[in-house]
Amino acid sequence: MKPTAILLLHCPDSQGIITEVTRFITDNNGNIVYLDQYVDRQDGMFFMRIEWELDGFIIPREKLKDYIQTLYAVRYDMTFNLYFNDVKPRMAIFVSKMSHCLYDLLARYKAGEWNVEIPCIVSNHEDLRYVAEQFGIPYYVWSIKKDHSNKAEVEQAEMELLKKEKVTFIVLARYMQIISEKLISAYPHHIINIHHSFLPAFIGAKPYHQAWERGVKIVGATSHYVTMELDAGPIIEQDVVRISHKDTPESLVLKGRDLEKIVLSRAVTKHIERKILTYNNKTIIFS
């Protein structure tokens, strides 16, 4: 795999942005291997993802961000992020007692599907330690009291671990605790949750039971970035499965678990591949 740079940007739409950025890359001996862009005509905003090979590129990677900031960010009122494909993201997984999403994430990781490192798994229960041990990943447990009197202390310990392990994003694989503002602020749009319903329908606990009681004909799963508003962050991925009157709450749960694994893995893939831009509590997903 050749080293590449990945530039994600958004700014007010104006003429010549694509030309300017592509010329900058080609003039410095860069070979563009990916380009996708989108214009939100309602808000007048421009979004782009561009990736180019670094072999032979004239500007050193450690100076590249400064060049982009100086040449384009101020001029176009541009917000941007720069990544390199040979710098692996470091993903922490938070779990509680349900194993299906955790198994799926770890299996994909071990199969080499993702260019990522998993330095730790964090939980509020001992139940899934055996899963972590099967995959050789350190497992940390901080139990939270029923009255939540130690929650601030627990999250401080978790944040110290995340900092020590240089974690760049977090995946909540059916982690049944509400994330605090402090942790969300430390990882803005870098905490991915899986919710077991097709949001915004059936928010909160036991959505499959809610769906069964309502008699719906499809159930879904939603993966989104975590924000301070519960289950209301920018949506990354969704999917649905058809159901019938013959289904029970228990069969809906089984169907839903398969869907949760797929939807969460798709969201994680898009995040790892740097194909997501967030804007106004929505996501732009590049192909």
Work out the angle at residue 112's Cα, subtended by the Cα atoms of residues 102 and 283, and round it to the nearest 5 degrees: 65
- Do 36 and 48 form a contact (C-beta atoms < 8 A)? yes
- Do 127 and 98 form a contact (C-beta atoms < 8 A)? no
- Do 138 and 128 form a contact (C-beta atoms < 8 A)? no
Pairing state between β 191-195 and 169-172: parallel
Q: What is the residue-wise DSSP string for 237-280? A: EEEEEE--TT--HHHHHHHHHHHHHHHHHHHHHHHHTT-EEEET
Compute CA distances 202 → 1, 210, 211, whole Å: 43, 7, 7
Decide if 104 is catalytic: no
Which of the following is catalytic: 13, 36, 127, 231? 231
Residue 143's nearest CA partner among 133, 132, 131, 157 is 157
Residue 85's nearest CA partner among 58, 59, 116 is 116
Q: Which residues are catalytic?
A: 231
